[in-house]
Amino acid sequence: MSKEISEVLIIGGGPAGMSAALVLGRSRIKTIILNTENARNMVTQHSHGFLTQDGAHPSEILKIAKEQLLKYKSVVYKKEKALDLIPNGDHFQVKTENQVYLTKRVIIATGYKDNVDQVGIEGLAEVYGKSVYPCPFCDGFENADKKLAVFGDAVMAPMFSKTIAHWSNNVIVFTNGDQMKDKELLSSLQKNGIEVIEQKIDKLLSKDGILEAVQLQGGRIIKREGGFLPDTKAVESTDFAKKLKVATEEGHFGMEMYKVDENKETEIKGLYIIGDARSGWGGVAKSVAEGSEVGAAITHQIISEKWAV
């Protein structure tokens, strides 16, 4: 296997990794970026809320990012999958199928992947990203005033429905057999016009990815035009950080996230984590921001290392 050396290697080329590569390219730092080109939101038709790219398809954003990166000769983009990340003294080894990369710094930007098949609702995978979504800030506007469903267990779905009700006053929560224990919350949902259906779902009825109705066990059919799913059974796309036992801390909504300093560097020197890979959910704008921050932070670190005192 041949070996390639870089100052920085980025694993993952979604919004976070590509943004880091752009700043490092502009800083003329030798950077390799490995990307399997399967960002989390590729399942959706339009990405929203990122300035100047509102409504663009995620593949269009990637295409433009790749074109713009090409200008920067110090960055090498490879459509390759990182298989292993091994610290080795003062550098890291990253292995792909046919190549070993040696680098002083690694940025993990591999994101999360959703596993809606594991939610246990027949027909959910067909509508996910087309009319049922995880995030109201991403797709609430397009679904405003529609007949909406919120799917999930009897804790998360009712709480989430309170947010969804900001966009539509026709919201039904489907807990798929889970019984709501918080009677106070149930009564507050009812007061706000949100119905909770605890009966088990038979399947979702849809056409070309557009939700049309929820069919309950027993045959009752409830018309819906779209929906939201707070728990997508998402997991980290890679286990690199876990294997290296990177320290974690409590993040938003009690979610565990990787602990980094102001440079996005973990307690392992030279190892950085950004975007969804760090926090579980960031959105495009936040991931781009973290990529930009880590690119500048690494540049400052390299400048300090080279500076004669």
Helix (H, G, I), strand (E, B) or coil at 79: coil
Q: For residue 49, which amino acid is it?
A: G
Nearer to ligand FAD (CB atom), residue 13 or residue 270: 13
| Binding flags for ligand FAD, 206-245, as an x/- string (CB under 6 A) | -------------------------------xx-------
Q: Which of 6, 27, 31, 35 binds ligand FAD (CB under 6 A)?
A: 35
User: Distance between CA 37 and CA 81 in Å, rounded?
Assistant: 9
* Rounded least distance, CB 1 to ligand FAD, Å: 17
Q: How far is the CB of 88 from ligand FAD (least distance, A)?
A: 19
Asked if 108 and 244 count as a contact pair (C-beta separation under 8 A), the reply is: no
Counting contacts by CB under 6 A, is residue 129 touching ligand FAD? yes
| Closest to 117 measured CA to CA, from 43, 15, 219, 37 | 43
Q: Which residues contact 296 (CB under 8 A, 6 or more apart)?
A: 23, 27
How many residues line the site for ligand FAD (CB under 6 A)? 43
DSSP code, position 265: B
Query: Residue 283 interacts with ligand FAD (CB under 6 A)?
Result: yes
248 Cβ contact partners less than 8 Å away, ≥ 6 residues apart: 256, 257, 258, 259
Q: Which stretch binds ligand FAD (CB under 6 A): 129-137, 158-166, 176-184, 195-203?
A: 129-137
Based on the shown chain and the rule CB under 6 A, indicate whether residue 31 belongs to the binding site for ligand FAD: no
Q: Which of 61, 131, 287, 294 binds ligand FAD (CB under 6 A)?
A: 287
Please, which residues have CB within 8 angstroms of residue 216's CB and are 6 or more apart in sequence?
A: 197, 199, 200, 201, 202, 222
| Residue 50 touching ligand FAD (CB under 6 A) | yes
In whole angstroms, how close is the CB of 20 to ligand FAD at the nearest point? 9
Is residue 85 at the binding interface for ligand FAD, with CB under 6 A as the rule? Answer: no
Decide if residue 34 touches ligand FAD (CB under 6 A): yes
Residue 27, CA distances (Å) to 22, 107, 109, 292 in order = 9, 16, 19, 12
264 belongs to the binding site for ligand FAD (CB under 6 A): no
Q: Of residues 6, 23, 31, 48, which one binds ligand FAD by CB under 6 A?
A: 48
Give yes or no for residue 103 binding ligand FAD (CB under 6 A). Answer: no
176 in Cβ contact with 203 (< 8 Å) = no
Interface with ligand FAD (CB under 6 A), residue from 69, 75, 124, 138: 138
What single-letter amino acid sits at 30?
A: K
- Considering only residues 25, 140, 226, 275, which one is a binding residue for ligand FAD as defined by CB under 6 A? 275
> Which is closer to ligand FAD, CB of 189 or CB of 227?
227
Between the CA of residue 126 and those of 49, 200, 281, what are the distances in Å?
A: 24, 19, 22
Q: What are phi and psi of 106, to 5 degrees?
A: -125, 135
Q: Exactly one of 61, 75, 109, 298 binds ligand FAD (CB under 6 A); which one?
A: 109
Distance (Å, whole) CA 114 – CA 108: 18
Token duo for residue 139: 């797709």
- 47 lies in the binding site for ligand FAD (CB under 6 A): yes
How far apart are alpha carbons 52 and 64 in whole angstroms? 12
Binding interface with ligand FAD (CB under 6 A): 11-17, 34-41, 43-44, 47-50, 81-82, 109-111, 114, 129, 133-135, 138, 237-238, 275-277, 281-285, 287
